[in-house]
Amino acid sequence: EKGIIFNPPHLPWGKVNLKKSLEDVFKCPVRIEHDAKACALAEWKFGAGRGCKNMIFLTLGTGLGAGIIIDGKIYRGSTGLAGEVGHIRIAEKGPVVYGKAGSWEAFCSGKGIAKLAHFMFPEVFGENVTTKEISEKAFKGDEHAIRVLKESGKYLGLGISILIDIFNPDAVVLGNLSWRLPRFWLDRALEVIEKESLENTRKACRIVRNELKDKLGDIAALIVAESAWKKVKY
């Protein structure tokens, strides 16, 4: 609420009062919101989560975070940090992201998939390989790239299984990375969810790609602005 950014993993900031800085520049009120939470609201109101009472949105971008909606409200937790699911250790061994080997983000985020490729096949994929390059190779039938994405899909499914068993949501909505990778990545995740999650929670939950696609960030920002203007709390 105060607009202070505390050590975001993908930005070189620490205890930065972004709200005040922007208000000083633009001379207007500013509201700051976590990207996963804002995108969750956008998909819940206008996208794949319409009609859901309980929903989880997974960013699946540079990093991996969750916006969690419970009973029609964003769940923020005691200190506003709820949803940092990418930090969950999901394997004993794996790529290292922010000093932690085997975290969920290291297997399934845009940055993580590139690290996974180098971890699995260092002789094929150098340290500077990108997830875009891996995806392009997979679309062309490259065996190593396909194996990397299937491994990533497996861990995506394992993580989602945990979330749906804990939260019992109506839907888990996936971020834009789900549109940029070959369909078999998501299919592999769905296979794992079928095996790993409880039947009753699984059957109650849809696992879907987001509907707003490239408009998602814009609509999310507008919802945050509207909520500030109308003094609505989600």
pLDDT more than 90, % of the chain: 78
Can you give the pLDDT at residue 218?
97
Looking at this protein, which amino acid is placed at residue 92? E
Q: Is 181 among the domain residues? A: yes
The CA distance from 135 to 218, in Å, is: 25
C-alpha torsion sign, points 217, 160, 182, 109? positive
Asked whether 24 and 17 are in contact (CB, 8 A), the reply is no
Q: Is 126 among the domain residues? A: yes
The CA distance from 204 to 207, in Å, is: 10
Asked whether 34 and 69 are in contact (CB, 8 A), the reply is no
Closest by Cα among 228, 209, 223, 104 to 155: 104
User: Do 162 and 90 lie in a common domain?
Assistant: yes
User: Do 7 and 99 lie in a common domain?
Assistant: no
Instruction: Please list the ranges in the chain whose pLDDT falls under 70.
Output: 1, 6-13
Give the residue numbers spanning the domain of 15.
1-32
Q: Is 185 among the domain residues? A: yes
**Average model confidence (pLDDT) for the chain?**
93
For β-strands 171-174 and 100-101, DSSP reports them as: unpaired
The pTM for the full model equals 0.91
The CA distance from 81 to 34, in Å, is: 9
